[in-house]
Structure 1
Amino acid sequence: MPELAPHVRDVPVNQIREITEAAWRIPEAVVLSIGEPGFPLPRHVLDAGIACLDRDETNYTPNAGLPALREAFAARFREQHAAGGHQIGIGADRIYVVAGAQQGLHLAMSLLLSPGDEILIPNPGYPTFAMTSRLLNAVPVGYPLYPEQDFQPRIQDIEALITERTRVLMLNSPSNPLGAVLGEDLTRQLVDLARRRDLWIISDECYEAFTYGVPHISPASFDSDVPGEARVFTSLTLSKTYGLTGLRIGALVCPPGLEQKMNNVMEAVVSCVAAPSQYAALAALTGPQDYVEQAHAHYLANRDAASAILKAKGIRYLTAQGAFYLWADVSHASGGDVRAWTHQFLAESGVALAPGTAFGSIGEGWVRIALCGTLPDLMEGVGRLPALAAVVGQGPIQP
């Protein structure tokens, strides 16, 4: 048979799925390797999707999504900016409803990257940043996030990587896998860098609802509203905020002036998102927000409980300021190959953790621990980690 295209053969394995699917084959495994919210969906969200089906409203929707849902996304975006002290006039015309944040990222990269173009992605960073760009024949270039810098990007490190082929700067705050959050000054500097070097920005803000003691600041806060000058695409999802992972629903916030181009590309990729998912999303955004408040409190409590166990074991970790993950250093046990060690640890202890190398080379020796499950499972799983006995009480890397 004919061979697959070379750029498809180069798409790397997602090590998160690799370890998680191995864990799913083990009865009673404690799965801390995947970010799947575990709360039942609110009844009004389920009812909205069911009512859509009962009405047999199963035809095409507009390429960009239901008008009411686009306005609901825009209103939430404006409100969050206002809460952070920034006024931004994004209207529904700049919102495109997508089949989850991952489709939004693919859509944005499809608009911005030609074969051979370079995209700067965080290292460590979410695996699909590299996977998606390779699928488009583009070249992902990792910019370093070092432990000694609290895993925060440095402008000079990013600027040193920019070449004549660089087209996009990828940002992610709150970070998956790190739980790190970009501060206001650094976010402004990153947007200024992109403007100075004529780069687009794609900002992945999947975890914008979950920060702890710090505000979420979107790069869009510092972008222009003038067509031809704006450069920030913002990827949003309801998968994490409301636990709608299987409904595949999110939004891409686009610079002004791209309406017709966006419709064309949406038609070519997915046409439109399923109507029941859109009505469920509308109910989530406009209805009671108890789910989000309860989830926020749960993740924070889980973070603190797991952090206490890591500290008692002498395991270094990054105090999560956002998202629902802990980033922990197991280099004392992993022997220089954390991917292999996580599989060994799963086989021996029944606990699945995401290996740090799933997120880039700087992740060697680290693991990502998901905080979104039950507290007993989390404490049981983290409690099985091997202690670093010589330095018990080492504690966190303080952001």
Structure 2
Amino acid sequence: MLPAAHARRVPVNQIREITQAAWATPHSIVLSIGEPGFPVARHVLEASMAALDRDETNYTPNAGIAPLREAFAARFLEHNGVAVDPSQVYVTAGAQQGLHLAMSTLLGPGDEVLIPNPGYPTYPMTAGLVHAVAVPYPLLPDNGFQPRIEDLEALVTPRTRMLVLNSPSNPLGAVFDADLTRALVDLARRQDLWILSDECYEAFTFDVGHVSPARFDAGGPGAPAEAGSPRVFTSLTLSKTYGLTGLRIGALVTPPGMEPLLNNIMEATVSCVSAPSQYGALAALSGPQDYVTDALAHYRKNRDAATAVLRKLNIPYLPAQGAFYLWADVSHASGGDVRAWVASLLETRGVALAPGTAFGSGGEGWVRIALCTDTDALVEGLSRLPHRKSS
């Protein structure tokens, strides 16, 4: 017998494909995965260890421990200017579980969800697992890889139920300004769509501010008087902000009144998040923020160092305003198959980059460069890329 058809249709994650190959290649320079390289702050580790010492290893409430939900709500108010009740905060096993929780709650079989192209690869993967249909919307170079309202409007059908937004963007490093964010929320309100806003990189922007769609949702400070009912779900994570990728801690900020339904769905999936991880997350949110400040400075330094190398090699790139990625055009070398080209680059030059096609058809000819490694390794790796001749 075969596994279910929808499971067989889940595509290979090309980021993992090239990264695992790089890990198996001695002395390779891995610029393909977004893994923060700093040690976790000591007070976070001690909080998790103290929870173990207290034998805090039992179930927690489905939605998470109350102090952590309160801390997420406080951060949301501080960073986004949006007041949410802790009952609207659902602690998840990382942002990815938050995405799955939202989609499995809001989408039914055959429902359509608009996802960015290029965009993070688990958006269509997750949609497929809940039997929904992912419909890519184009992010184009001539518009700075920003969404256009008219493109989105043209894709809406009677089956469209959700719009996925991601700013700061993985893989692009693009950031939505307030006017565009407001227009996107207005579009969702006009077309009666849910918004799932992936804000994994909200702590890392360069010279611009992060603007959450929740600001313009019903009840938000920027919402019109006739905003109607809230429609924005916000997926957050501590994986990137505090380097806690292995603790698997995130949060889904929901409209009011969703907790009973989400409790049932959480019980049917993972019941609750690990208690020691939750206490570590509480320490991260409520303790010193030096990790975040230092990480942002390092990513800015790496962005500037990387762009200097790309300019020297005459390789076009999208100036990164946020996250810790750089989106570069290698079409002069990739020959129309960037997935094969990055494999060849690893084999011949010992450098791993994420192929743009990992993020959708709009990524052909492009690569994503992770800026979270050692600066010297980053510069050395990019210096091995082929020079682009002037046209």
Normalised by the size of structure 1, how large is the TM-score?
0.95
Distance 2:80 2:11 in 1: 36
Q: CA deviation at 1:389?
A: 2.4
Q: CA deviation at 1:257?
A: 1.4
Distance 2:294 2:85 in 1: 29
Query: 2:276 corresponds to which residue?
Result: 276
Q: CA deviation at 1:262?
A: 1.3
Amino acid across the alignment from 1:46: L
Matches within 5 A, 1:174-323: 174-225=168-219, 229-323=229-323
Matches within 5 A, 1:36-115: 36-82=35-81, 88-115=82-109
Aligned with 2:268: secondary structure?
helix
1:31 aligned to 2:42?
Answer: no
Q: CA deviation at 1:263?
A: 1.0
Does the CA-based 8 Å contact 2:237-2:249 persist in structure 1?
yes
Query: 2:7 corresponds to which residue?
Result: 8
RMSD of equivalent CA atoms:
1.0
Amino acid across the alignment from 1:168: M
Does the CA-based 8 Å contact 1:235-1:253 persist in structure 2?
yes
Of residues 382-391 and 281-290 in structure 1, the stretch that sits farther from structure 2 once superposed is 382-391
| Structure 2: stretches of 5+ with no match in the other structure | 221-226
Query: 1:132 corresponds to which residue?
Result: 126
Distance 1:16 1:28 in 2: 19
Aligned with 2:246: secondary structure?
helix
Distance 1:305 1:111 in 2: 43
Distance 2:118 2:141 in 1: 10
Aligned with 1:390: secondary structure?
coil
Q: Residue deviations 1:334-392, cap 9 Å, x none?
A: 0000000000010000000000000010100000000001001100111111111225x
Amino acid across the alignment from 2:63: A
Q: CA deviation at 1:67?
A: 0.3
Distance 1:271 1:219 in 2: 29
Alignment: residue pair count: 385
Q: Residue deviations 1:57-89, cap 9 Å, x none?
A: 10000110010000000000000023xxxxx22
Q: Residue deviations 1:140-159, cap 9 Å, x none?
A: 01000000110000000011
Aligned with 1:379: secondary structure?
helix
Q: Residue deviations 1:278-305, cap 9 Å, x none?
A: 0000000000000000000000000000
Distance 2:141 2:365 in 1: 12
Of residues 92-101 and 226-235 in structure 1, the stretch that sits farther from structure 2 once superposed is 226-235
Distance 2:382 2:235 in 1: 31
Amino acid across the alignment from 1:27: P
Amino acid across the alignment from 2:346: L
Q: Residue deviations 1:100-135, cap 9 Å, x none?
A: 000000000001110111100000000000110011
Aligned with 1:107: secondary structure?
helix
Of residues 262-271 and 193-202 in structure 1, the stretch that sits farther from structure 2 once superposed is 262-271
1:158 aligned to 2:152?
Answer: yes
Amino acid across the alignment from 1:260: P
Amino acid across the alignment from 1:263: N
Does the CA-based 8 Å contact 1:225-1:256 persist in structure 2?
no
Query: 1:117 corresponds to which residue?
Result: 111
Q: CA deviation at 1:91?
A: 1.6
Distance 2:187 2:129 in 1: 27
Aligned with 1:31: secondary structure?
strand
Does the CA-based 8 Å contact 1:225-1:255 persist in structure 2?
no
Aligned with 1:68: secondary structure?
helix
Does the CA-based 8 Å contact 1:207-1:241 persist in structure 2?
yes
> Identity over the aligned pairs, expressed in percent?
70
Distance 1:310 1:279 in 2: 42
| Structure 1: stretches of 5+ with no match in the other structure | 83-87, 392-399
Q: CA deviation at 1:228?
A: 7.3
Distance 1:269 1:225 in 2: 30
Aligned with 1:39: secondary structure?
coil
Q: Residue deviations 1:158-213, cap 9 Å, x none?
A: 11000111100000000000000011000000000000000000000000000000
Amino acid across the alignment from 1:96: Y
Q: CA deviation at 1:225?
A: 3.1
Distance 2:246 2:80 in 1: 28
Aligned with 2:390: secondary structure?
helix
